[in-house]
Amino acid sequence: MVQKSGHRHRDRRERLPDILSIHMRNGRIFHRASRKKCAGEAIRTEKIMSEARKTDICGLELNEFEALLKQDGEKPFRARQVYRWIFVEGERDFEKMTDLPAALRAKLAGKYEASPCAIERRSVSGDKMAVKYALRLFDDNIVEAVKIYDGDELDKYTVCVSTQVGCPVNCAFCQTAKMGFIRNLDAAEIVGQVIAAAFDGEGSPEGLSNIVYMGMGEPLLNYDSVVKSVRIINSPDALNISMRKITISTAGVAPMMKKLMAEAMPLTLALSLHAPDDALREKLVPLNKKYNIKTLIDTLKIYVETTKRRVTIEYVLIDGVNDRKSDARKLSELLKGLMCHVNLIPMNKTEGKYAAPSRGKISEFKNILAAGGINVTVRSSRGQDINAACGMLYKELKSKKNIE
C-alpha cells in the first residue's frame, strides 16, 4: 500500500537507486516513456492489491510458515509436511494433502493458497529444447518464464524467471522495455514461476538444475522479493537448488550489487554489459548514465574479492553496433584481471532495427577475447522460434490486461 505520510515518501525515494530513466510518483516507479499507460495500470493494480488476499505459502520461508501455524495453535512440524506437498509433490489443493488432519486442511484452505501463477499458455520450440510459459497472476497481469533443457535426453533443465511486470531500465535492444514498468513481483510470484514450469504436464523438480533471474524486469530493483525467493528456492525443504546453481542478472544497479555481496549467498552474479565504453553503453543501457562502467567493474572486483565467486559478463553482439574488432580489444582490456566468464549472445531476431553479426564476426570477436586471456563462450540461444530467447519475452505478450 502507498503510505500517506510525506516523510515515508521521502524515505522510500532515498532507499531506491535514483535511476535517470525512472520516474517516481507516490512511492511507485514508472518508466517515463510510457508514464500514462503505466500509471493507469499501477492504479488499477494498487486497487486490486489493496483487497484481501490469502497468504501464498510459496512466498513464505519455512520458519515464517512455522511461526504462523504456531500462532494458529498448530504444531510447527506441519509446515514441513505442507512444504513437501507443494514443493516435492506439486500439490496445490490442501484437501488432497491426506496426511494432514481434516481440520487443518480446512484451516489452510481458508487462510492460504499455494502458487500464484496459472499457466495461460505454453509454447514449445521446434527442437523441443525450450518451453515458454505465459503465466497469469492474481491481478490479471501476465509474466513469462522459460524452461530450457540442458541436453538431448531432456533429463535436466533450467528455468528462467521474471522479477517484474515490464521493466524500468529501458535497454535499447530489449523487447520487454517496450512495456514500460507496471509493478514488482512478490517472492511467491517468482517462486511460483519455477513451480509452474517444474510440474507442468508430467514434469517434476527432479530434473531442475539451474535457476536464472534473466526474464522480464531488473532483479536488483526488486531486491527484497528476489533475495527472499532465492532463499526459498534454495531451502532443502522446498526446491533444494544449490546457491551455486542460481544466477542473478543485472543491468548494473551498483548499490544493490554491493548489498547482494553482503548476503553471504554463493550464487552467480551476471552483469549485462553489452558495450566496452561508456559512450556506447549509455545508448544501449541508459542506466549507465547513473552507474558507469568503471563503477560497475570496480564493484565486480570487490564482489569477487568478497565472495570468492567468479562473475559472468553478458554481452549481446549487435551487428554494426558493438561487434567491431576494436570493441573486442577494449573489452579484453577492460576485463583484464577480473575473475569472470564472458557469455557472447548473438542478438535475437526481433521487430526492431538490431540484428546479429555474421558467424565469422562472432568467431572473430570471441577469438580476440580468448587471445587476451578472457574466459569466453558463445551462448546458444534456444527457443527463438517461440520468442523465448533473451530480450524476446515481450513480443507474444498481447494480453489486453497489461498491453495496449
CA–CA dist 304, 200 (Å, integer): 37
- Taking alpha carbons only, the member of 113, 197, 179 closest to residue 141 is 179
Active site residues per annotation? 144, 390
Using one digit for the tens of pLDDT, what is the confidence trace for 328-384? 999 999 999 999 999 999 998 776 789 999 999 999 999 999 999 999 999 876 666
Using one digit for the tens of pLDDT, what is the confidence trace for 230-270? 999 999 999 999 999 999 999 999 999 999 999 999 999 99
Using one digit for the tens of pLDDT, what is the confidence trace for 149-194? 987 667 899 999 999 999 999 999 988 888 889 999 999 999 999 9
> What's the grid cell of residue 45?
493494480
Quote the DSSP letter at residue 146.
Answer: E
Quote the DSSP letter at residue 167.
Answer: -
Using one digit for the tens of pLDDT, what is the confidence trace for 185-222? 999 999 999 999 999 977 778 899 999 999 999 999 99
CB 210 within 8 A of CB 246: yes
pTM for the predicted model, two decimal places = 0.86
* Residue 326 clears pLDDT 70, i.e. is over it: yes
Ranking 28-32, 315-319, 345-349 by mean pLDDT, the lowest is: 28-32
CA–CA dist 158, 197 (Å, integer): 10
* pLDDT recorded at residue 42: 45
Task: Please list the residues that pair with 272 across neighbouring strands.
Answer: 314
* Residue 20 clears pLDDT 60, i.e. is over it: no
Ranking 62-66, 285-289, 387-391 by mean pLDDT, the lowest is: 387-391
- Residues with Cβ within 8 Å of 28's Cβ and at least 6 positions away in sequence, in order, are 2, 42, 46
- Taking alpha carbons only, the member of 120, 145, 147 closest to residue 382 is 147
- Residues with Cβ within 8 Å of 335's Cβ and at least 6 positions away in sequence, in order, are 297, 313, 342, 374
- Residues with Cβ within 8 Å of 8's Cβ and at least 6 positions away in sequence, in order, are 27
Vertex 312: Cα angle to 220 and 144 (nearest 5): 50
Label residue 71 exposed, middle or buried (CB < 10 Å: 0-12, 13-18, 19+): exposed
Sign for the CA dihedral angle at 236, 238, 240, 243 comes to negative
Q: Which domains does the chain have, with CATH numbers?
A: 6-50 (no CATH), 55-113 (1.10.150.530), 118-386 (3.20.20.70)
